[in-house]
């Protein structure tokens, strides 16, 4: 074990002999290929040993604090910093280098997808989407919890955005919850006359800045993102942050966020602050490397377990009320998609495209998916090309990948959009539609909108099993009770037989690889019926059954003999035993054939 530890330590610091030159080469290459667009910054990557504290004031008091490690990354820049820190993008220096112990990946930040843009490109695209022009800012500094040994749970990242006069004018708080959902808050600085920096005018007309002790960044905004199950989505936040470079050099991190209730009183105060001076990875001695690794190697791995521990205290000891998780709002980002949802989205996208192409009215449909590369897709109906057409615009924005796995449960497209968007509580919505009054022009007019291709006998059985297994999706977190049932002990149940859905018929008529859709749909239905919606349980059961079929090949077949030899089989073997052995050896293949999952 000691030898392994020494070898790992040498592996991590083997490039620390030439870190300064490495950083300069990375900066030159970054500027030469135009990735930075001329936005040089004197800021350097740093390590920030910190502590974080949480103090709950209402409805019951509860406090805790623990050590926390943050890293600072100047934007634009990518590459490696000594033997500890690396930043990766799909192009530029980062791709040529090797990942370090602490790693920051562009795909983990801001909008999902588009990792090839890098941190700078993704930041620029996000600011443009918020109405911020490129000339309104010059560079930024990202303070975040890095990936540690490839793992990261990052509750909040801070983007400090500076203008051409090196003033901190904006911040982005990128908040992630334990459900893998994300919300970015773009905040503008509020002037504070009591702490405004002294300034002067240089001979060339540009503003200059005198050294200042601190400069606070403050702002308040409404809460619309579910972070903790012990807080509702109501209330507001107040941020007080210290510019980490207010005196020209890094003075460390000191950010305080106060959660206020909808009635205006404070409920929770969270603070993260530097517990020691920032560290430059390129200037650490051998002994400082050793102290850092031994003191911080475990911190990134225990953030999530620490959160679970404190949540258990609040639930079991403090007896706090638990708020069910609502679906994300329009301004938030849903969780990452599962493999099943990724597969189903491909069929939904083609189905939506087919609906537009067969629409009689002039439609312009904009579709924003919640999986894949998250690129917005646009479709126009055939009649929309006419100059005299009065174009109707419809935007469909999927807010969470759960929409795709829920959509297949509905037999009718109109019912799916009603229950997932139009006729449900806002906290249950998985999709957003801009102009619902236009939606009927898009929907199929009859169940027989597509002619189903002839299917083989076994294929008919497989599709019949899909139809039988279809069931209602998981009940939403905030159910809507019909008015007729609010004051009576009655329930509503659909007693009609469930036909093939519109999407079923479309897939059957259009795709030779319809088995992919059928496989994922059946898994979702069986999971809903027998495994509380957990598809992994169904997949595990399938693997376990196949393992049992393989093990059955080792079970001896009872010795049977046939009195008759009319089949030409020696009586010492017996036809029954011969057939049993054949089925036994081919059990896995027979199972795969009946499923049609190949």
Q: Is residue 425 domain-resident?
A: yes
Q: Is residue 548 domain-resident?
A: no
- In whole numbers, what is the pLDDT of the chain averaged over residues? 81
Q: Is residue 490 domain-resident?
A: no
Q: Is residue 545 domain-resident?
A: no
Cα separation, 481 vs 476, in Å, equals 11
Cα separation, 88 vs 79, in Å, equals 7
Q: Is there a single domain that holds both residue 181 and residue 244?
A: yes
Q: Is residue 546 domain-resident?
A: no
pLDDT in tens, 296-317: 888 888 888 999 999 999 999 9
Q: How confident is the model at residue 596 (pLDDT cuts 50, 70, 90)?
A: confident
Q: Is there a single domain that holds both residue 429 and residue 521?
A: yes
N-to-C CA span, the chain: 45
The winner for highest mean pLDDT among 22-31, 148-157, 398-407 is 398-407
Residue found under tokens 């030898």: 3
Q: Is there a single domain that holds both residue 95 and residue 218?
A: yes
Q: Is there a single domain that holds both residue 226 and residue 168?
A: yes
Q: Is residue 326 domain-resident?
A: no
Q: How many domains does the chain have?
A: 3
DSSP 333-353: EPPPPPHHHHHHHHHHHHHHH
pLDDT in tens, 31-43: 444 445 556 667 8
* Token duo for residue 119: 């941190």
Cα separation, 177 vs 183, in Å, equals 9
Of 88 and 40, more confident: 88
Least confident stretch, 178-187, 271-280, 342-351, 493-502: 493-502
pLDDT exceeds 70 at position 170: yes
pLDDT in tens, 511-530: 778 889 999 999 999 999 99
Q: Is there a single domain that holds both residue 224 and residue 370?
A: no
pLDDT exceeds 50 at position 11: no
Q: Is there a single domain that holds both residue 249 and residue 347?
A: no
Q: Is there a single domain that holds both residue 524 and residue 562?
A: no
Of 264 and 79, more confident: 264
Q: Is there a single domain that holds both residue 558 and residue 533?
A: no
- Domain C-terminal end among 317, 352, 380: 317
Q: Is residue 96 domain-resident?
A: yes
Percentage with pLDDT > 90 across the chain: 48
State the residue range of the domain holding 532: 337-485+497-537
Least confident stretch, 9-13, 267-271, 357-361: 9-13
**Full strand arrangement of the beta sheet holding 147-148:** 79-81, 85-88, 102-105, 147-148
Cα separation, 35 vs 160, in Å, equals 20
Of 144 and 101, more confident: 144
> What pLDDT was estimated at residue 527?
94
pLDDT exceeds 60 at position 485: no
> What pLDDT was estimated at residue 13?
47
Q: Is residue 324 domain-resident?
A: no
Q: Is there a single domain that holds both residue 478 and residue 568?
A: no
Q: Which of 176, 180, 35, 185 is nearest to 118 (CA)?
A: 35
- HSE, side-chain direction, 13 A CA sphere, residue 515: 14
Q: Is there a single domain that holds both residue 259 and residue 350?
A: no
* Partners of residue 52 on adjacent β-strands: 66, 272
> What pLDDT was estimated at residue 350?
94
Q: Is there a single domain that holds both residue 36 and residue 97?
A: yes
Contacts of 511 (CB under 8 A, 6+ apart): 347, 517
**Full strand arrangement of the beta sheet holding 363-368:** 377-380, 363-368, 392-398, 431-433
Of 209 and 18, more confident: 18
> What pLDDT was estimated at residue 196?
42
Reported in sequence order, the residue ranges of 243-291 that DSSP labels E, i.e. its strands, are 254-260, 266-274
> What pLDDT was estimated at residue 264?
84
Least confident stretch, 66-80, 256-270, 520-534: 66-80
**What is the model's pTM?**
0.84
- Domain C-terminal end among 253, 282, 317: 317
pLDDT in tens, 224-254: 999 999 999 999 999 999 999 887 777 789 9
The winner for highest mean pLDDT among 243-247, 358-362, 451-455 is 358-362
Cβ pair 442, 359 in contact under 8 A: yes
- Domain C-terminal end among 261, 289, 317: 317
Q: Is there a single domain that holds both residue 84 and residue 183?
A: yes
pLDDT exceeds 70 at position 76: yes
Show the 3-state SS of 351-381.
HHHHHHHCCCCCEEEEEECCCCCCCCEEEEC
Q: How many CB atoms lie within 10 A of CB 40?
A: 14
Percentage with pLDDT > 70 across the chain: 77
Give just the sign of the alpha carbon dihedral 368, 372, 377, 381.
Answer: negative
């Amino acid at each position: 074990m000691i030898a392994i530890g020494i070898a790992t330590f040498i592996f991590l610091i083997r490039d620390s002999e030439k870190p300064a030159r490495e950083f300069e080469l990375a900066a030159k290459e970054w500027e030469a290929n135009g990735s930075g667009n001329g936005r040089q910054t004197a800021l350097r990557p740093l390590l920030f040993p910190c502590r974080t504290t949480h103090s709950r004031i209402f409805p019951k008091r509860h406090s805790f604090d623990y050590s926390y490690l943050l890293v600072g990354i100047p934007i634009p820049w990518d590459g490696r910093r000594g033997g500890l820190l690396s930043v990766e993008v799909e192009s530029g220096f980062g791709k040529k280098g090797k990942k370090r112990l602490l790693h920051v990946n562009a795909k983990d930040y801001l909008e999902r997808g588009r990792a090839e843009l890098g941190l700078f490109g993704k930041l620029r695209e996000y600011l443009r989407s918020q109405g911020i022009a490129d000339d309104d800012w010059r560079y930024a500094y990202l303070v975040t919890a890095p990936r540690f040994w490839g793992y990261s749970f990052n509750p909040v990242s801070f983007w400090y955005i500076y203008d051409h006069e090196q003033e901190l004018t904006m911040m982005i708080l990128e908040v992630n919850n334990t459900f893998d959902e994300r919300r970015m808050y773009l905040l503008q600085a509020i002037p504070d006359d009591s702490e405004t920096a002294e300034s002067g005018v240089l001979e060339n007309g540009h503003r200059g800045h005198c050294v200042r002790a601190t400069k606070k960044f403050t702002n308040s905004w409404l809460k619309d993102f579910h972070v903790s199950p012990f807080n509702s989505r109501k209330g507001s936040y107040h941020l007080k942050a210290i510019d980490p470079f207010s005196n020209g050099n890094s003075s460390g991190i000191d950010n305080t966020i106060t959660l206020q209730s909808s009635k205006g009183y404070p409920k929770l105060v969270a603070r993260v602050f530097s517990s020691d001076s920032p560290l430059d990875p390129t200037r650490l001695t051998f002994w400082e490397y050793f102290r850092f690794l031994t003191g911080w190697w475990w911190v990134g791995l225990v953030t999530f377990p620490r959160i679970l521990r404190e949540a258990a205290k609040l639930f079991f000891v403090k007896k706090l009320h638990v708020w069910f998780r609502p679906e994300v709002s329009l301004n938030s980002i849903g969780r990452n998609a599962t493999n099943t949802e990724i597969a189903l989205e491909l069929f939904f996208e083609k189905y939506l495209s087919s609906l537009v192409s067969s629409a009689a009215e002039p439609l312009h449909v904009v579709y924003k998916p919640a999986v894949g590369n998250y690129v917005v897709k646009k479709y126009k109906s055939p009649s929309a090309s006419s100059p005299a057409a009065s174009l109707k615009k419809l935007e469909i924005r999927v807010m969470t990948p759960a929409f795709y796995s829920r959509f297949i449960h509905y037999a009718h497209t109109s019912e799916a959009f009603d229950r997932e968007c139009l006729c449900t509580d806002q906290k249950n919505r998985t999709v957003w539609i801009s102009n619902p009054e236009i939606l009927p022009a898009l929907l199929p007019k009859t169940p027989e909108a597509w002619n189903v291709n002839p299917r083989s006998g076994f294929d008919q059985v497989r599709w019949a099993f899909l139809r039988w297994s279809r069931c209602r999706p998981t009940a939403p977190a905030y159910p809507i009770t019909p008015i007729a049932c609010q004051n009576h002990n009655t329930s509503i149940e659909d007693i009609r037989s469930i036909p093939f859905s519109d999407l079923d018929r479309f897939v059957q008529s259009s795709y030779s690889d319809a088995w992919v859709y059928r496989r994922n749909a059946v898994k979702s239905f069986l999971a809903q019926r027998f495994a509380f919606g957990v598809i992994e349980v169904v997949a595990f059961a399938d693997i376990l059954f196949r393992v049992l079929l393989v093990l059955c090949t080792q079970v001896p077949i009872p010795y049977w003999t046939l009195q008759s030899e009319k089949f030409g089989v020696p009586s010492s073997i017996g036809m029954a035993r011969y057939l049993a052995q054949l089925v036994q050896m081919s059990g896995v293949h027979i199972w795969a054939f009946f499923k049609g999952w190949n």
